[in-house]
Structure 1
Amino acid sequence: MTDRDDNAPEYMRRIRSFVLREGRMTPAQQRAFDTLWSRFGIDYRGTPHDFNANFARHAPLVMEIGFGNGEALAWASEHDLARDFLGIEVHGPGVGRLMNALAARDAGNVRLYKHDAVEVLEHEIAPGTLAEARIWFPDPWHKKRHNKRRLIQSEFVALLASRMAPDGLLHLATDWQPYAEHMLEVMEAAPDWRNAIGPGQYAEKPAWRIETHFERRGLKLGHGVWDLLYRKT
């Protein structure tokens, strides 16, 4: 394990990419925190975490930031048992819902943080740890004055690159075209990443990104979806 990185850009500590509007948890979701957190949850401590010890094996680690209600993460972990999955989400109801789903099938290859993903990356994930990172449908922060809150910024993708294994994969997806264009601009300028499809290209929807309830709702409203795939150089 390596020491924490104290040289992360200061903006990451000042500007968060989310607003915590914590909805009321159902009794079942609260019970999940009471009875299942010790099984699936990782408490943020601000020091590098030994994920191999946590999963009791050495396997490629896939991280999903902002998993929402956990539908895609639950499916992926069930259909890709050779890899381990790390989910990061700040909203309690979604975390509780996912823990119940994981417990129902006795999942052993998923662990969760309920914490700010930037801080987890800065302090708990050692360099070279991640085989893949997934950031699907992050908040687009539509208003121009809020664009600085978008998660996908040059400083963030540089931090993320430092935590990836060689040739690690970053998969981004959004249903907001201006954010897709912003993502493409940021990633094409990032020296630590190369477009897996070709310079300046979006990707076709990969089979491993299932169509969730959230996405189906957007498609019915006429929204497009843009996928981007990048490899760590």
Structure 2
Amino acid sequence: MTEPQQQDDPSNDSRATGPESSDAPLHRRGIKSYVLRAGRMTVAQTRGLEEVWPRLGLTLADGRQDLDALFGRSAPRVVEIGFGMGASLVEQAETHPDTDFIGIEVHAPGVGKLLDEVDKRGLSNIRVYREDALAVLEQCLPPASLTTLQLFFPDPWPKKKHHKRRIVQPAFVELVRTRLMEGGSLHMATDWEAYAEWMAEVMDAAPGYINAAAAETAPYVPRPDFRPLTKFEARGERLGHGVWDLIYRRAD
């Protein structure tokens, strides 16, 4: 979920700031798309990390996953990168018990909150990584294994000098494509119009994807009913803020 940040200042950087080429190093090795922030942990969040993590938490050290073995069944698989405090992901898992979900989030309070809530609701169709999402995709998730990858309200890094930190880059969407099954979807949403335009530029240039939007709304789609409306988004709607959803499907 995005946080209030300053608007772009042209004086920040005079260099070109468009998306990187598709052959750029995936991580820009050392450049992250997120910043770790310290935060106070509630009792519930601490419980989630201490008591529930051993059962539902995953790490890079676990290696490449056999997802059928991990969940004990064969089912549609959805990965969400950057689930924040987890309310949307928990709602999806509870609403769709026939689907398995993997959440990736680096911030401890959000991971703890989600795990505590998952345990209280008795959900068995969620697993969680507290790791860099790119490393998880590269090292842990099998090729052609995902039905959907969700990226909702990633940090827009609005200053021009920070655009290189945006997670949506050609190398990232190519990695995602390899992890989606044929016909699988990359679903992104943002409340920053400039980032929505950036996402569309990257995706329209990416090979092996088809835009799912109708011609009259392309490149965007109306907010799908299956994407829960967060409190953050509802507040933005009341204030007249826009939200842009983009869905692209793997074509090959």
- Aligned residue in 2 for 1:4: none
Q: Secondary structure at the match of 1:77?
A: helix
From 139, 144, 149, the equivalent of 2:165 is 149
| Aligned-residue RMSD, C-alpha | 1.6
Residue 176 of structure 2 is aligned to residue 160 of structure 1: yes
- Looking at structure 2, the residues matched to 154 and 44 of structure 1 have their Cα atoms a distance apart, in angstroms, of 23
TM-aligned CA deviation for residue 124 of structure 1: 0.6
Distance change (3 Å), C-alpha of 1:35 and 1:226:
same
Q: Secondary structure at the match of 1:64?
A: strand
- Aligned residue in 1 for 2:228: 210
1:130-184 superposed Cα distances (whole Å, 9 cap, x missing partner): 1101000000001000011001111100011011111101110000000000001
- Normalized against structure 1, the TM-score is what? 0.93
CA contact (8 A) 2:26 2:171 kept: no
Residue 234 of structure 2 is aligned to residue 219 of structure 1: no
- Percent identity of equivalent pairs: 48
Higher relative contact order, structure no. (Cα contacts within 8 Å, ≥ 6 residues apart): 2
- Looking at structure 1, the residues matched to 123 and 26 of structure 2 have their Cα atoms a distance apart, in angstroms, of 37
TM-aligned CA deviation for residue 50 of structure 1: 1.6
TM-aligned CA deviation for residue 219 of structure 1: 2.3
Q: Secondary structure at the match of 2:53?
A: helix
- Looking at structure 2, the residues matched to 11 and 83 of structure 1 have their Cα atoms a distance apart, in angstroms, of 30
Q: Which amino acid aligns with 1:180?
A: A
- Looking at structure 1, the residues matched to 37 and 98 of structure 2 have their Cα atoms a distance apart, in angstroms, of 35
- Looking at structure 1, the residues matched to 144 and 57 of structure 2 have their Cα atoms a distance apart, in angstroms, of 22
Q: Which moved more, 1:13-22 or 1:129-138?
A: 13-22
- Looking at structure 2, the residues matched to 11 and 88 of structure 1 have their Cα atoms a distance apart, in angstroms, of 16
Residue 33 of structure 2 is aligned to residue 17 of structure 1: yes
- Aligned residue in 2 for 1:175: 191
- Looking at structure 2, the residues matched to 127 and 86 of structure 1 have their Cα atoms a distance apart, in angstroms, of 15
CA contact (8 A) 1:78 1:107 kept: yes
CA contact (8 A) 1:12 1:118 kept: no
- Looking at structure 2, the residues matched to 223 and 11 of structure 1 have their Cα atoms a distance apart, in angstroms, of 31
Q: Which moved more, 1:133-142 or 1:215-224?
A: 215-224
TM-aligned CA deviation for residue 220 of structure 1: 3.1
- Aligned residue in 2 for 1:189: 205
- Aligned residue in 2 for 1:124: 140
- Normalized against structure 2, the TM-score is what? 0.86
- Looking at structure 2, the residues matched to 197 and 219 of structure 1 have their Cα atoms a distance apart, in angstroms, of 22
From 117, 121, 136, the equivalent of 1:101 is 117
Q: Which amino acid aligns with 1:95?
A: V
- Aligned residue in 1 for 2:3: none
TM-aligned CA deviation for residue 126 of structure 1: 1.3
Which has the higher Rg, Structure 1 or Structure 2? 2
Q: Which moved more, 1:26-35 or 1:69-78?
A: 26-35
Runs of 4+ with deviation above 3 angstroms: none
Aligned length: 227
TM-aligned CA deviation for residue 76 of structure 1: 0.4
Structure 1 residue runs of 5 or longer lacking an equivalent are 1-6
Q: Secondary structure at the match of 2:246?
A: strand
TM-aligned CA deviation for residue 8 of structure 1: 9.0
Residue 98 of structure 2 is aligned to residue 82 of structure 1: yes
From 17, 33, 40, the equivalent of 2:56 is 40
- Aligned residue in 1 for 2:250: 232
